[in-house]
Structure 1
Amino acid sequence: MLAKLVTREQATECVRDGVRLMYGGFGTIGSPALLIDTILEKGVRDLTLIGIDAGYPQVGIGKLISHGRVRKLMTTHIGSNPEAGQQMMDGRLQVTFCPQGIFAEKIRAGGVGIPGIVVDAQMWGEATEGGEAVVFGGKPCWMEPALTADVGIVYAKQADTYGNLIYDKSARNLNPLVAMAADITIAEVEEIVPAGELDPEKIVTPGIFVDYMVNRSGGGNG
């Protein structure tokens, strides 16, 4: 049996100053709130965050931004978090925006080992950092680099002891892609069952992608 179930403190030992931290969730839906609180309590700084939004000022991932723990944010929008917008205007937070569908595809590419994706230059505008101009099908395009992270934090409704994950409806959002694209993936889970009890047809993320699990209901200690 794989010893993936650990305390929240043990799970987040790999989250240190300056890491690239990727996260699932949209607003509060599918957000690994317990793991985010633990990272905040650790006091780590200079994080690079990669996720679909900036959360809310005092909820979820937005807490890390509001407390000044984030140096760079790669996201699709920050409209729900005025604090993120203010920090960006003040030059305290470097923000890189990306259209939501392309953003998700860049993370998917990172998870499956593809170095980048081709984007129509007329629809995209300017290439982001690391991108380069290419011609594809006779059209001007940008080669956009895939997105990966040192650590990824995700939220799931159920897991078994091998780390196979099942998500709940829209809480699935970006979580499966994040789980694939990080060097170390930590899953915050509502319910953990013995191996073999999950319906294989409902498993979205295979346990091979999950390094550690934290039991949300048990405070992370199983």
Structure 2
Amino acid sequence: MKQILNSFTEAVKAIPDGATLMVGGFGLVGIPEQLIAALAESGVNSLTVISNNCGIDDWGLGLLLRNKQIKKIIASYVGENKEFERQVLSGEIEAQLVPQGTLAERIRAGGAGIPAFYTPAGVGTPLAEGRETRIFDGKEYILEQALTADFSLIRAARADRMGNLVFNKTARNFNPMMASAGRVTIAEVEELVEIGSLDPEMIDIPGIYVQQIIVGAQEKRIERLTTRS
């Protein structure tokens, strides 16, 4: 049985200043939106955040950016967030941009206990400057180190009380690998079901990777809403 939390304030209270966080999601899809909002209200600062991007200006990780709570971010692109772009260009935040596939593999490797790996992504670009490289079968590769976090904040559609998780289609994105790479993983879920209610063949992440669960309603905002005229 996993710890079932009663409030989002309670869920984030153990996260200290200077913590390293992995935050699931792709844009606004699959983000643990209520956990992020609670972090924004908590006032915790000097965070290092590992996420695919930084959401939008007024939602998701954009809330933490607005409050200047993020010291460093490791992400694959700036995305739709103008405040992120402004802080990067002004030097207010340290940003490490990583090819998206490399970011995913660094997180997966961290969860699997693999300390580093070689990849061809970035060879011959500024990303390779000052980096260790090796030649395999006549091709050059860059050494990349795995990523882990103090806390992983993830989002799932359903969970049972053992922490087994099911994701909703593309909302799965970075969430499963981040669940395995966090020392403490907090899962924000839309529905909590009893043990035995989930089809074992449909479970995306086993409960061994999840320490805490909290149920919350999702706004599920859309980054760019396109409608027919």
**Residue 6 of structure 1: aligned partner:** 5
**Residue 43 of structure 1: aligned partner:** 43
Aligned residue pairs total: 217
**Residue 225 of structure 2: aligned partner:** none
Q: How does 1:22-61 map to 2 (within 5 A)?
A: 22-61=22-61
Structure 2 residue matching 1:144: 3-state secondary structure: strand
Q: How much has 1:135 moved relative to structure 2?
A: 2.8
Task: Give the 3 Å change call, closer, same or farther, for CA 188–68 of structure 1 in structure 2.
Answer: same
Q: How much has 1:66 moved relative to structure 2?
A: 1.6
Q: How much has 1:103 moved relative to structure 2?
A: 0.8
1:10-62 residue CA offsets vs partner (Å, 9 max, x unmatched): 32122110001101111211010010011111100000010001110111111
Q: Which sits farther off after the overlay, 113-122 or 13-22?
A: 113-122
Q: How does 1:128-167 map to 2 (within 5 A)?
A: 132-167=132-167
Structure 1 residue matching 2:65: 3-state secondary structure: helix
What TM-score, normalized by structure 1, do the two folds share? 0.92
What are structure 2's unaligned runs of at least 5 residues?
219-229
What are structure 1's unaligned runs of at least 5 residues?
none
Q: How much has 1:129 moved relative to structure 2?
A: 10
Task: Give the 3 Å change call, closer, same or farther, for CA 187–130 of structure 1 in structure 2.
Answer: farther
- The two structures, once aligned, show a CA RMSD in angstroms of 1.9
Q: How does 1:1-222 map to 2 (within 5 A)?
A: 2-7=1-6, 8-120=8-120, 123=123, 125-126=125-126, 132-217=132-217
Q: Which sits farther off after the overlay, 49-58 or 209-218?
A: 209-218
2: CA distance between counterparts of 1:42 and 1:130? Answer: 38
Structure 1 residue matching 2:213: 3-state secondary structure: strand
Q: Which sits farther off after the overlay, 35-44 or 139-148?
A: 139-148
Task: Give the 3 Å change call, closer, same or farther, for CA 177–92 of structure 1 in structure 2.
Answer: same
